[in-house]
Amino acid sequence: MLSDKIQGALNDQLNAELYSAYLYLSMAAYFHAVGLGGFAQWMRVQAQEELVHAMKFHDFIGERGGRVRLKAIEAPPTEWSSPLEAFETALKHEEMVSGRINDVMNLALSERDHATQIFLQWFVTEQVEEEASVGEVVQRLKLLGDARQGLFMLDRELGQRTFTPPSSGEGGAP
């Protein structure tokens, strides 16, 4: 059974994961509008991953006898001045999500909620990967500078990303 504090924190994180999906869908729409379909594809896949994360929280709350409390999802930004600014925004967002996950983990530790700690461990690891993945694109965009040819080559590469749902053994039910 979840404590009220843990249940509230997990519901807040569920909402944050849904916002993440909204943010990345907004970025996908931005990239599509400026003619960078590969960047748009990369962000669409990122949005799908965030929806999986949200469902993991949804399912875990229910499995622990808690109650999911959905909240309004804030509208994300819709414009960025450049692909670099969009990816820098994504990196800052992932760093914020990492902090949120750490805060929920600290709460679970203080409440000695071992099941929630084990559940959150997958997200701690996932956030390291998320920050590294987005950070790599930021670094590559910085290296490109104003080189349009390089931007289109990167666009082609990012367009190869596909969504692969996690197996059921990865962090609970997908």
- pLDDT tens string 20-70: 999 999 999 999 999 999 999 999 999 999 999 999 999 999 999 999 999
C-alpha distances in Å from residue 76, one per residue of 19, 22, 30, 60: 8, 7, 12, 26
- Residue among 99, 111, 16, 17 nearest 64 (CA): 111
Residue 167 to residue 173: CA distance in whole angstroms: 8
Kindly tell me the burial class for residue 135, based on how many C-beta atoms sit within 10 Å of its own C-beta (0-12, 13-18, 19 or more).
Answer: middle
Give me the sign of the Cα torsion angle 168, 101, 57, 26. Answer: negative
Reported pTM? 0.92
Residue 39 to residue 43: CA distance in whole angstroms: 6
Amino acid 165: pLDDT: 85
In the chain, where are the structural domains located?
Answer: 4-158
- The CATH code of domain 4-158 reads 1.20.1260.10
**pLDDT beyond 70 at 170:** no
**pLDDT beyond 70 at 138:** yes
